[in-house]
């Protein structure tokens, strides 16, 4: 489940975008920004209880990931720019920005006081209250994985039982028919890309809250496994079905950590 949890979120992110024939290749960068946003919330509210900290970290991760995804979304909606290229290129920008915060600056996220920080650049440790809970004793289930299952259910309801999902399906099948019927295509592109980025950002928040407990810019840490790119494979193998994404993420996550 250590590897399955971030893959669940990035797989859902890719599936959410593809339902409108949008190819969000930027899940990797959106996951980084979700980690940046959630760790900022965890550090800012360090004196608060877990009841306040954990929801704040989740909201900050979603907001940061969505904001990063709205850049290629805006370019696609208003300038007809290919979102595959722009979202992919922004992954490298996000990775460099993550590295800059810890290795190349004395940012809010960087620890500058501890003994370990004097030897090697590291991020500030979050408080104990910012550690997300686990379920079970023999088989430990991270809280983030349970949140991912809830997100999968919510995504299925959104696309199959709401007007929003119906309009997305129409725009996917026939953009001309959607425009002729008065559907606001540009707004839907922005909404879907924001939703996709928010899910990936929630995966970054889960990485910080469930496992890392700090903003880890080390190449062997948050950036080691390419969760954003593998999430695209997870979504494709699941045929973009949110429930199947849960199962495939569990399988691929187990293979990655075997």
pLDDT in tens, 154-199: 999 999 999 999 999 999 999 889 989 999 999 999 999 999 999 9
Q: What is the pLDDT of residues 95-134, one digit of tens each?
A: 999 999 999 999 999 999 999 898 999 999 999 999 999 9
Mean pLDDT of the chain: 95
Is this structure's pTM higher than 0.85? yes
Alpha helices in 45-126 (DSSP H): 50-79, 83-103, 115-119
**Mean pLDDT, rounded, for 134-158:** 94
Distance of alpha carbon 253 from alpha carbon 245, whole angstroms: 11
- Taking the C-alpha atoms of residue 171 and residue 186, their distance in angstroms, rounded to an integer, is 10
Cα-trace Rg, the chain = 18
What pLDDT score does 219 carry?
A: 81
Q: For the ranges 49-53, 80-84, 133-137, 247-251, which has the lowest average pLDDT?
A: 133-137
When pLDDT is cut at 50, 70 and 90, the band that residue 225 belongs to is confident
Collect all residues with Cβ–Cβ distance below 8 Å to 198 and sequence separation of at least 6.
13, 62, 63, 65, 66, 69
Can you tell me whether residue 3 is helix, strand or coil? coil
Assess contact for 20 and 240: CB atoms under 8 A.
no
């Amino acid at each position: 489940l250590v590897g399955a949890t971030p893959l669940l979120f990035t797989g859902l992110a890719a599936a959410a975008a593809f339902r409108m024939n949008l190819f969000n290749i930027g899940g990797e960068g959106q996951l980084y920004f979700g980690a940046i946003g959630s760790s900022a919330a965890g550090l800012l509210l360090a004196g608060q209880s877990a009841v306040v900290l954990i929801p704040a970290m989740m909201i900050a991760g979603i907001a940061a990931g969505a904001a990063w995804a709205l850049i290629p979304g805006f370019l696609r909606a208003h300038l007809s720019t290919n979102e595959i290229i722009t979202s992919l290129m922004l992954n490298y920008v996000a990775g460099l920005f993550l590295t800059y915060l810890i290795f190349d600056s004395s940012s809010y996220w960087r620890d500058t006081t501890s003994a370990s920080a004097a030897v090697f650049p590291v991020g500030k440790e979050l408080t104990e209250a910012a550690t997300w809970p686990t379920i079970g004793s023999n088989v430990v289930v991270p809280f983030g994985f349970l949140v991912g299952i809830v997100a999968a259910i919510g995504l299925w309801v959104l696309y199959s039982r709401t007007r929003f999902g119906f309009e997305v399906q129409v725009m996917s099948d026939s953009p001309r028919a959607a425009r002729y019927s008065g559907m606001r295509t540009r707004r839907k592109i922005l909404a879907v890309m924001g939703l996709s980025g928010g899910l990936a950002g929630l995966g970054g928040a889960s990485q910080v809250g469930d496992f890392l407990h700090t903003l880890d810019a080390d190449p062997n840490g948050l950036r080691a496994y390419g969760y954003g790119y593998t999430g695209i494979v997870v979504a494709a193998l699941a045929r973009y079905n949110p429930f199947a994404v849960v199962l495939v993420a569990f399988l691929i996550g187990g293979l990655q950590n075997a």
